[in-house]
Amino acid sequence: MRKAAVLALALAAPGLVAASGSLQAQSLYHLGRAATSAEIAAWDIDISPDGAGLPPGHGSVAEGKAIYALKCAACHGDHGQGKPMDALAGGLGTVFDAKSVRTVGSFWPYATTLYDYIRRAMPFPEPQSLSDSEVYAVSAYVLNLSGIVPDTAVLDAASLAKIVMPNRDRFVHDAKIDIGQPQPGAVPAVR
Amino acid sequence: MEQDVLPVGLERDARHLVTLEPGKAVLTRRNLVSAAASLAASGALGAAPGKAAAETIPSRPEWQQRPGAELMSPPYGAPSARESQVIRRARHGSPPPPTNYAGISLTPHQNLYGIVTPGGLHYERHHSGVPDIDPDQHRLLVHGLVERPLIFTMDDLTRFPSVSRLHFLECSGNTPTWGVPKPGLTVQDTHGLLSCSEWTGVPLATVLAEAGVRPEGKWLLAEGGDAAALTRSIPIEKAFDDALLVYAQNGERLRPEQGYPLRLLLPGFEGNTSIKWLRRLKIGTAPFQTRWETSKYSLVLPDQTIRQFDFVMDAKSVITSPSGGQSLKGTGFHEISGLAWSGRGKITRVEVSTDGGTSWHDAALQEPVLSKCLTRFRFPWQWEGAPARLASRSTDASGYVQPSRAALESIRDGRSYYHNNAIQTWAVAANGSVVNA
């Protein structure tokens, strides 16, 4: 009986240690294999708000306009006005109105998010089919529709990361509990 | 939805007519009597309580007169064909989505019992269709601020020590019913982006320990392997707390629309963060500011700020029976039954009101009462036939009390859209009909 209990403890122990995260310096189960840097590079497509991850390449508003007309306008409208899918431009200054129009221009806090999202998920029927330079071009055109970059703009990793979106400062990282304290008339909870 | 109930009864009898003799539709006296009885029963809805309805039930019904269906028909069992109305649906009254590859379908809580949602009725939220992933080719990459970037096969992941836990999943867009209530909504419409399953998988902490998260790693990016390649940033504390890498649901491998072959499950967090078809985890120092945590799933507040990373689904409850679209069949005893849940832990109390919140009474909580899981509550009720307003209010182990609609709308409104956990009220009319109020 005692032997069985000791064995059970020994079997349980690795799981407990792993769950605590306290022994991260060494592998406990030796499952999985090392990922090569080439494998990581092929999958690592996300872009951070500081621009980390933006690839080489560049694209102009004019180039983006041509790609947009071909691959984006059917869903987002000739000039990003939306219908049937999300509007991309317009609505500046309406975010806090009762009938707000939330677009890339009026709402999105980071231009890097635009590049990241177009590259991973657009065009809807054929995601991850645009080249990195084409994504810069479409990003430039969409930003130009809201007047965030000029008609002559050419975006690359350095210039895109520097763009400050109009609504950025309104975003706050805050998970405070703002309601849910006992309501008037509520009886204290049974604990 | 009441009109859904009566035709089903009639349809059932019609089906008997054609199945009585294979290949031949025969109308017998017995079937006529059966159909008439069904009509009589439907007409007797408003009858006084206790009054016996005139009906003729055959002493030897059709299904006792010969053997039934063969074994394994079908090999993977399906619900009774007589329950064909119990399905996921789009939201009642919403315009059709521009594409059926992105959108929602809702769990029919008005037809369900207990706390476990059948796999085929779990709500859906997809952003670019349901992928058909070959589990043999599926890989999970763990990289970023780790000592050892690793790639796992599904076989690797199922070899880790496993755990099974019951947890709800709720989309933070559940209950988008701000402002004036629409009478036509059912509980499927108002609370259908909520489901609950037994999930089996490996604690994310176990897998992260294999890779060795560096001390500066504070946020985790989780990425889906569907055509949307959806990404969300997760605080590393949650990853090491109770996050799971899940491969099974209610005893079987995940359903395709629930992330087959692998999904993240973050108990108590808004559903969008439990990334389906999970293929990549990257450790970083700060949120990655993906589309799904900036332009969506953020809360536009009256103070002209936009709140991000408000992950936890606060305490909430809803009466599922009787609920909108249903009808009380006569005065007398009715059990009020519903669901309560909280992303902060266990439900400790549910109160029910039958007078629109003027007075509250404790409901019985059905065991088991589990953390971050649906809890079924029950309240016995004698309906005297007067109009009533039914509501429920939950309290969780943290002391949080579900707010009234007025209280919630005094600090937030339809602009914030997400995280509406206000008390739900159903109005019962003198004729027994129940509507959203």
Cα-based angle B404, B406, B409 (whole degrees, multiple of 5)? 110
CATH code at position A67? 1.10.760.10
Q: pLDDT tens digit string along B358-398?
A: 999 999 999 999 999 999 999 999 999 999 999 999 999 99
Residue % of chain A over a pLDDT of 70: 80
Of residues A109 and A26, more confidently modeled: A109
User: In this structure, is residue A47 part of a structural domain?
Assistant: no
Say whether B396 sits in a helix, a strand or coil.
Answer: strand
Does the structure show a pLDDT above 80 at B17? no
Residue B50's pLDDT is what? 53
Mutual orientation of helices A132-145 and A111-121 as an angle, nearest 10°? 130
Facing residue for A95 by CB, picked from B210, B300, B403: B300
For residues B95-109, average pLDDT: 92
Indicate the residue of A21, A25, A43 with minimum beta-carbon distance to B205: A21
Whether A18 sits inside 8 A of B206 (CB atoms) is yes
Contact B365, B339 (CB under 8 A): no
Question: What pLDDT is stored for residue A24 in this prediction?
Answer: 52
Query: Is B429 part of a structural domain of the chain?
Result: yes
| Residue with the larger pLDDT of the pair A124 and B41 | A124
In a domain, B72, yes or no: no
Please say if the pLDDT value at position A15 is more than 70: no
Answer whether residue B163 is part of any domain: yes
Assigned domain for B133 exists: yes
Best probe of the A interface among B148, B295, B405, B412, by most A CBs < 10 A, is: B295
Is there a single domain that holds both residue B324 and residue B403? yes
What's the distance, CA B48 to chain centroid? 35
Task: Say if A191 falls within a structural domain.
Answer: no
Confidence of residue B258 (pLDDT cuts 50, 70, 90): very high
If asked whether residues B283 and B324 sit together in one domain, one would say no
Number of domains present in the structure of chain B: 3
Is B203–A18 a contact, with Cβ atoms under 8 angstroms apart?
A: yes
Question: Quick check: B42 pLDDT over 60?
Answer: no
CA trace torsion B205, B208, B210, B214 (10° rounding): -120
Q: Are residues B257 and B327 in the same domain?
A: no
| Domain count along chain A | 1
**Using the 8-state DSSP alphabet, how is residue B55 labeled?**
-
Residue A33 falls within a domain, yes or no?
no
The predicted structure's pLDDT at residue B94: 85
Q: Residue B362's domain spans which residues?
A: 316-436
> Is A149 part of a structural domain of the chain?
yes
pLDDT category, A19, cuts 50, 70, 90? very low
Same domain? For B149 and B192 the reply is yes
pLDDT at B44 over 50: no
pLDDT tens, B269-287?
Answer: 999 999 999 999 999 999 9
Asked if residue B69 is part of any domain, the answer here is no
| Domain harbouring B397, CATH code | 2.60.40.650
Q: Is residue B409 part of a domain?
A: yes
Instruction: Tell whether B225 and B155 lie within a shared domain.
Output: yes
B397-422 pLDDT per residue, tens: 999 999 999 999 999 999 999 999 99
- Which residue range(s) make up the domain with A135? 57-170
Å between A176 CA and nearest CA of chain B: 8
Q: Is residue A66 part of a domain?
A: yes
Q: B237 pLDDT exceeds 60?
A: yes
Domain assignment of residue A48, yes or no: no
Residue from the list B203, B291, B349 with its beta carbon closest to the beta carbon of A189? B349
Residue of B nearest to A13 (CA): B161
Least confident of B21-35, B153-167, B250-264, B371-385: B21-35
The pLDDT mean for chain B works out to: 90
How many Cβ pairs closer than 8 A exist between chain A and B? 216
Q: Which of B127, B282, B403 is facing A183, going by the closest CB pair?
A: B403
ipTM for the predicted complex: 0.86
Question: How confident is residue B53, by pLDDT bands cut at 50, 70 and 90?
Answer: low
B430 backbone dihedrals φ, ψ, rounded to 5°: -60, -30
CB interface of A with B, residues 35-64, below 8 Å: 35, 39-40, 43-49
Which three-class secondary structure state does DSSP give residue A4?
Answer: helix
Q: What is the pTM of this model?
A: 0.87
- The share of chain B scoring above pLDDT 90, in percent, equals 85
Q: What is the pLDDT of residue A181?
A: 57
Same domain membership, residue B325 and residue B271? no
> For residue A72, is it within any domain?
yes
Could you report the per-residue pLDDT of A72-96, keeping only the tens digit for each? Answer: 999 999 999 999 999 999 999 999 9
Nearest CA to A139 out of A56, A63, A78, A47 is that of: A63
- Name which residue leads in pLDDT, A17 or A92: A92
Q: For residues B284 and B322, state if they share a domain.
A: no
- Both tokens of A117, joined, read 């999202």
pLDDT above 60 (res A11): no
Percent of chain B surpassing pLDDT 70: 88
* Longest Cα separation, chain B: 80
Q: Residue holding tokens 């402002």?
A: B179
Give the pLDDT mean for B156-160. Answer: 98
pLDDT at position A178 is 74
- What is the structure's pLDDT at B1? 32
- pLDDT for the residue numbered B54: 77
Helices and strands (DSSP H and E) totals, chain A: 7, 4
Whole-angstrom distance, CA of residue B212 vs CA of residue A24: 4
